[in-house]
Amino acid sequence: MSRRTKRRPAHRRGLLPGILIGVLAFAALLAVLIPMASSRDPLSLCATQPSTFPESGGAGWDREQLENAAIIITTARDRGFERDGQILGVMAAIGESSLHNIDYGDWETSGVTNPDGSRTSSIGLFQQQDWWGSVEERMDPAASAGLFYARLGRLAGWQDLEPTIAIHRVQINADPQHYARFEERAAELVDALSGPCPG
């Protein structure tokens, strides 16, 4: 009487190699994903040394935007404003110009007029009109940031206001809530630009 070797069903024979292939594939995926995750460390830049910023920018901002944000932050620090005040300045500039120092404003792009019907004369990072200062001041990022912070500093109790309302009272724009949606990104940018400075 011959003895037959008991054979496992075909579907079970293929199970072990399939599991091994799955484990190996998962390990290979982790080998790719782990370095990718570690390469997405938060941006950490020194605001006072914009010459060290990467040419391509970072964290969704181009180099010009990073440099302008750094100027706002540095101007705020020089005037005694801590992180909360720095965030307001960056929020305002994001909301007004997306951190680009532009020589045109709402009249040119949207036909917006002042309440008296005259053309708006907004220019620069903060889209400041004629009554803020000269064209040279408003087109100079540090000077225009200085104008913003001079007015914010005169606003009693600004620290107790909702950030978008504090900015609205400085900028005197049409929509008090306009700046609210930029708060998170502004905070991230201020924190990124508050990194350690090279020795």
Q: Report yes or no on 75 lying in a domain.
A: yes
Q: What is the pLDDT of residues 14-24, one digit of tens each?
A: 555 566 565 55
What pLDDT score was predicted for residue 173?
Answer: 86
Task: Examine the pLDDT at 165 and tell me if it is beyond 90.
Answer: yes
Q: Report yes or no on 199 lying in a domain.
A: no
Q: What is the pLDDT of residues 31-83, one digit of tens each?
A: 544 433 333 346 789 999 988 898 888 888 999 999 999 999 999 999 999 99
Q: Report yes or no on 67 lying in a domain.
A: yes
What pLDDT score was predicted for residue 52?
Answer: 86
Q: Report yes or no on 2 lying in a domain.
A: no
C-alpha 153/C-alpha 13 separation (Å) is: 77
- Which residue bears the tokens 């309440």? 115
Task: Compute how many other C-beta atoms are within 10 angstroms of the C-beta atom of residue 27.
Answer: 9
Task: Examine the pLDDT at 3 and tell me if it is beyond 60.
Answer: no
DSSP characters for 37-103? Answer: HHTTPPP--BTT-GGGS-TT-BTTB-HHHHHHHHHHHHHHHHTT--HHHHHHHHHHHHHHHTT---S
What pLDDT score was predicted for residue 35?
Answer: 39
Instruction: Give residues with Cβ within 8 angstroms of 66, minimum separation 6.
Output: 45, 50, 53, 57, 58, 189, 193
What pLDDT score was predicted for residue 59?
Answer: 82
At 195, list the tokens.
């990194």
Domain count of the fold of the chain:
2
Q: What is the pLDDT of residues 85-144, one digit of tens each?
A: 999 999 999 999 999 999 986 655 666 666 667 667 899 999 999 999 999 999 999 999
Domain that holds residue 25: 12-41
Residues 90/190, Cβ–Cβ less than 8 Å:
yes
Judge if 169 and 75 occupy the same domain. yes
**Burial (0-12, 13-18, 19+ Cβ within 10 Å), 117:** exposed
152 or 107, which is more confident: 152
